[in-house]
Amino acid sequence: MANHKSALKRIRNSETKRLRNKFQHKTTRNAIKALREIEKKADAEKQLNSVLAMVDKLAKKSIIHNNKAANLKSKLTKHVAAL
């Protein structure tokens, strides 16, 4: 266990950030799955912008890599265009 106050604070902060990142990542993954299951193009296009914003936010906060975000956005856009 940590011996310094600053180390204890760092542990608390790290845990808080880990849980927040986990929640945001899981929420985005669920939104992506929901978008892929939509079969109507109009509904999918409405949902696409919000999902892309979520992916961008994850990449900006370094929860996912920038290239992964770009690949996800590309695949989702192609999927919606193909409907």
Q: Structurally, how many domains does the chain consist of?
A: 1
Contacts of 63 (CB under 8 A, 6+ apart): 21, 24, 25
Least confident of 21-25, 40-44, 54-58, 75-79: 40-44
Asked if residue 58 lies in contact with residue 14, where contact means CB atoms within 8 angstroms, the answer is no
Asked if residue 26 lies in contact with residue 32, where contact means CB atoms within 8 angstroms, the answer is no
Phi-psi region of 4 (alpha: psi -120 to 50; beta: other; left: phi over 0): beta
* Span 44-56, average pLDDT: 94
Question: Which amino acid is it at 36?
Answer: R
Whole-prediction pTM: 0.81
55: domain CATH number? Answer: 1.20.58.110
pLDDT tens digits, residue range 2-48? 789 999 999 999 999 999 999 999 999 999 999 999 999 999 999 99
Domain that holds residue 14: 5-82
